[in-house]
């Protein structure tokens, strides 16, 4: 679905929502969520329904048999089967189209296409987290309508935030009518996210694509496919997350803020604590700590060995989640090794560091992130090596640094807003209705007149 159309449809539903009784509001959330997903492709709906029902009945089954491992192992294996199939089928078996299997047809510009249905990773991770929580002692839901509403809630369905059952489901089932004072800030978040996507993310995406088709790239092309791509992903993904948070607020629901000014991190560890927060927390709770405890026992309490091996395993998995080839393994390994090196150098406390060390740390972190994020975008390692070589050739290259002055100005505004929010929570930026609605009007005009007119799917719809 086109992002502008998504925002417009959400606003129309938000007008209807408070006019309905409690059960009507619950029904609207469920029907609208499946309607939004079906609008992308009706063929995707069965995947969502199957994952939801497997986790629902699996949770009940696990609650009755918490001691043996086979119920939770079987449930997780069944939940992972569609994800593994769609993520790795093309890499393992080539372009084989199976009759009756609906695959993604979204356009990702120069990144090509993928088979995986939109959102499958995110609602699968959410389902796995739910059944693991039940295994750990949480109560399984026995109301299938309530559970289906939780699994399908449309603002967070396609690319997160990956919300936990215990925090999201009670909000959805109570179906609160949002206070009028929350409507303006919610719409402002949505339009700010939309502006990041269509004014910055999409324009940078065009320039990144152009840089990759240059026969003899120079340093400007290399900067574009590293730093440019990193900024593109942030504008695109943070933009989606803000649209999700704002959309949910229109229905009285609070979601996690998925990004907290990651480019103002003083080292790589802090960066990953501020980037895609719901995923990193999910990885920590359901992958890192369980593996870490196991390796702690295997290494007989040797902390360095167990932490090092845990980080390597987890980040290789993270890399393979982004893609099935060697470059994604290298991406994961680079993050793990860099963070272990930071830990070996000793912990530092940002509050006690001088400003110049924080600034240097931030620049070094951005440079490392940009260079390694290039591994996610590059079509192959040969092309990546060519681009890295171009960074030091001294030749200017051919691709423009930014696709026009519009994106450059918008980038400056984005970083200024990020810098402001680094020290003030986003909800406290402005409490003045006049300022909020003035900003809404301004953003609406900017999106209309300066939004990129060739819509591209959100980058993380690939994963």
Q: What is the pLDDT of residues 274-331, one digit of tens each?
A: 999 999 999 999 999 998 888 888 877 777 888 899 999 999 999 888 888 889 999 9
Tell me the C-alpha distance between 122 and 241, whole Å.
Answer: 13
8 A C-beta contact, residue 270 and residue 422? no
pLDDT, residue 108, reads: 46
pLDDT, residue 113, reads: 53
Residue 428 has pLDDT above 50, yes or no: no
Q: Which of 266, 276, 322, 398 is catalytic?
A: 322
Count the neighbouring beta carbons within 10 Å of the beta carbon of residue 242. Answer: 24
pLDDT, residue 110, reads: 47
Instruction: For residue 165, say if its preceding peptide bond is cis, omega within 30 degrees of 0.
Output: no
What are the distances in angstroms from CA 22 to CA 29, 151, 246?
A: 11, 19, 21
| C-alpha neighbours within 13 Å on the C-beta side of residue 154 | 25
CB-count burial class (<10 Å; 0-12, 13-18, 19+) for 116:
buried
Residue 2 has pLDDT above 80, yes or no: no
Closest-CA residue to 86 (of 66, 114, 113, 110):
114
Tell me which residue has tokens 């890499």. Answer: 91
pLDDT, residue 246, reads: 93
The domain segmentation of the chain, as residue ranges, is: 3-177, 181-266+348-455
Tell me the C-alpha distance between 70 and 93, whole Å.
Answer: 30
Tell me the C-alpha distance between 240 and 273, whole Å.
Answer: 19
Q: How confident is the model at residue 399 (pLDDT cuts 50, 70, 90)?
A: low
8 A C-beta contact, residue 274 and residue 262? yes
Q: Which of 143-157, 177-191, 205-219 has the lowest mean pLDDT?
A: 205-219
End-to-end CA distance of the chain: give it in Å, rounded.
17
Q: Which of 66-80, 97-111, 370-384, 440-454 has the lowest mean pLDDT?
A: 97-111
276 in catalytic set: no
pTM greater than 0.75: yes
> Looking at residues 429-456, what average pLDDT do you find?
76
What are the distances in angstroms from CA 76 to CA 33, 59, 457?
A: 24, 11, 29
């Amino acid at each position: 679905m086109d992002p502008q159309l998504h925002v417009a449809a959400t606003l129309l539903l938000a007008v209807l929502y408070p006019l309905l009784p409690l059960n009507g509001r619950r029904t609207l959330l469920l029907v609208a969520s499946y309607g939004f997903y079906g609008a992308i492709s009706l063929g995707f709906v069965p995947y969502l329904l199957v994952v939801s029902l497997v986790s629902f009945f699996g949770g009940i089954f696990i609650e009755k048999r918490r001691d043996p491992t086979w119920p939770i192992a079987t449930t997780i294996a069944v939940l992972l089967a569609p994800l593994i199939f769609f993520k790795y089928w093309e890499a393992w078996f080539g372009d084989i189209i199976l009759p009756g299997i609906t695959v993604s047809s979204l356009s990702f510009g120069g990144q090509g296409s993928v088979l995986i249905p939109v959102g499958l990773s995110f609602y699968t991770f959410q389902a796995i987290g739910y059944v693991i929580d039940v295994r750990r002692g949480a109560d399984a839901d026995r109301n299938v309508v309530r559970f289906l509403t939780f699994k399908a809630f449309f603002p967070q369905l396609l690319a997160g935030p990956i919300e936990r059952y215990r925090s999201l489901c009670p909000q959805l089932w109570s179906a609160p009518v949002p206070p009028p004072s929350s409507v303006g800030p919610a719409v402002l978040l949505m339009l700010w996210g939309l502006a990041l996507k269509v004014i910055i993310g999409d324009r940078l995406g065009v320039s990144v694509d152009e840089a990759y088709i240059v026969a003899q790239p120079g340093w400007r092309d290399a900067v574009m496919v590293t730093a440019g791509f990193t900024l593109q992903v942030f504008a695109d993904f943070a933009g989606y997350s803000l649209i999700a948070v704002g959309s949910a607020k229109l229905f009285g629901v609070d979601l996690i803020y998925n990004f907290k000014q990651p480019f103002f991190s003083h080292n790589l560890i802090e960066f990953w604590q501020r980037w895609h927060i719901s995923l990193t927390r999910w990885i920590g709770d359901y992958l890192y700590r369980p593996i870490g405890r196991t390796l702690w026992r295997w290494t007989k309490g040797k902390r360095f060995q167990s932490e090092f091996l845990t980080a390597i395993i987890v980040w290789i998995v993270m890399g393979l989640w982004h893609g099935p080839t060697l470059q994604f393994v290298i991406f994961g390994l680079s993050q793990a090794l860099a963070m272990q090196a930071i830990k070996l150098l000793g912990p530092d406390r940002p509050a006690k560091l001088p400003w110049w060390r924080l600034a240097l740390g931030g620049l070094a972190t951005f440079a490392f992130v940009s260079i390694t994020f290039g591994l996610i975008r590059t079509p192959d390692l040969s092309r990546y090596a060519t681009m890295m070589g171009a960074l030091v050739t001294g030749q200017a290259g051919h691709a423009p640094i930014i696709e026009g002055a519009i994106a450059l100005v918008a980038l400056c505004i984005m970083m200024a807003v990020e810098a402001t929010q680094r020290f003030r929570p986003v909800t406290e930026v402005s409490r003045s209705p006049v300022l909020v609605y003035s900003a809404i009007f301004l953003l609406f005009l900017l999106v209309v007149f300066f939004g990129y007119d060739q819509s591209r799917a959100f980058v993380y719809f690939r994963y």
